[in-house]
Amino acid sequence: MKALDRREVVASLLERRGGLLVVAGLGAPAWDCTAAGDHPLTFPLWGAMGSACMIGLGLALAQPRRRVLVVTGDGEVLMGLGSLATVGAQRPANLAVVVLDNERYGETGMQKTHTAYGTDLAGVARACGFATARIIRRNAEISDVRSGIYRGKGPLFFQVKVEPDAPPLVLPPRDGAYLKHRFREALLGAQ
């Protein structure tokens, strides 16, 4: 069975996004989020690998009335595996993590990640105390992911199996200070 198309998955999750706050992990997940539409309330990472879930947690704790989504990759989440335990200990009801799992380090030559060798990320998230933790393989399940992100009781974790392809680069701005300022202005007003 062919795995899911990462660009289609992300576009489905981010259409009609309302007040959703998004953190995009470095590499392809950041390009996917940008391809779905550059947005001031998306904070795309160009570095600090392994930090995406923790940035999502800080944001979710600071904004308990908003929904927060982390879109990241299998390699990125593997580098910060302990952060799943940290999120599990806090149990933020408004946080969802979507891992686009192509089982590869896509930016460095498509080397296999640990998920290709059997690491069960959803199992790790479940064991860390996430309220929901699922592996998603079929397009028909994407509506479940969407309702989880926008309405479900978090923390939620969706490991979405995607094709190990490399869609065209769609790059977000790379000035970190600009990305930070525009996010805060869109969320909090002029500072």
Partner 1 sequence: MVPRNTSKALPARVADWPAAIYGVLKSHRVRQVSYVPDAGHKRLIELCHADREMAAVPLTTEEEGIGLAAGAWLGGERAALLMQSSGVGNCVNALTLASNCGFPLLMLVTMRGETGERNPWQIPMGQAAPEALRLAGVRTLRLERAEEASAVTSTAAKVAFEEQGAVALLISQQLIGVKSFEEKR
- The encoded tokens of residue 156 equal 């939620």
Nearer to partner 1, 149 or 162 (CB): 149
* Interacting residues with partner 1 between 88 and 147 (CB under 8 A): 89-90
* Interacting residues with partner 1 between 163 and 182 (CB under 8 A): 176-177, 179-180
Question: Any contact of residue 185 with partner 1 (CB under 8 A)?
Answer: no
Measure the N-to-C terminal CA separation of the chain; round to a whole number of Å: 50
CA distances from 28 to 31, 50, 67, 86, 121 (A): 5, 14, 22, 25, 18
Question: Any contact of residue 61 with partner 1 (CB under 8 A)?
Answer: yes
Nearer to partner 1, 47 or 109 (CB): 47
Nearer to partner 1, 39 or 134 (CB): 39
CA distances from 68 to 97, 113, 117, 163 (A): 9, 26, 30, 25
Neighbours of 4 (CB within 10 A): 22
Could you say which of 13, 55, 69, 133 contacts partner 1 (CB under 8 A)?
Answer: 55
Question: Residue written as tokens 């595996």?
Answer: 81
For residue 28, the minimal CB distance to partner 1 (Å) is 19
Nearer to partner 1, 84 or 131 (CB): 84
Q: Which residues pair with 24 in a beta bridge?
A: 44, 71
- The encoded tokens of residue 38 equal 């550059």
* Interacting residues with partner 1 between 64 and 93 (CB under 8 A): 80, 82-83, 85-86, 89-90
Nearer to partner 1, 58 or 167 (CB): 58
CA distances from 56 to 120, 165, 169 (A): 21, 26, 24
Q: How many residues bind partner 1 (CB under 8 A)?
A: 36
Binding site for partner 1 (CB under 8 A): 21, 23, 43, 46-63, 80, 82-83, 85-86, 89-90, 176-177, 179-180, 183-184, 187-188
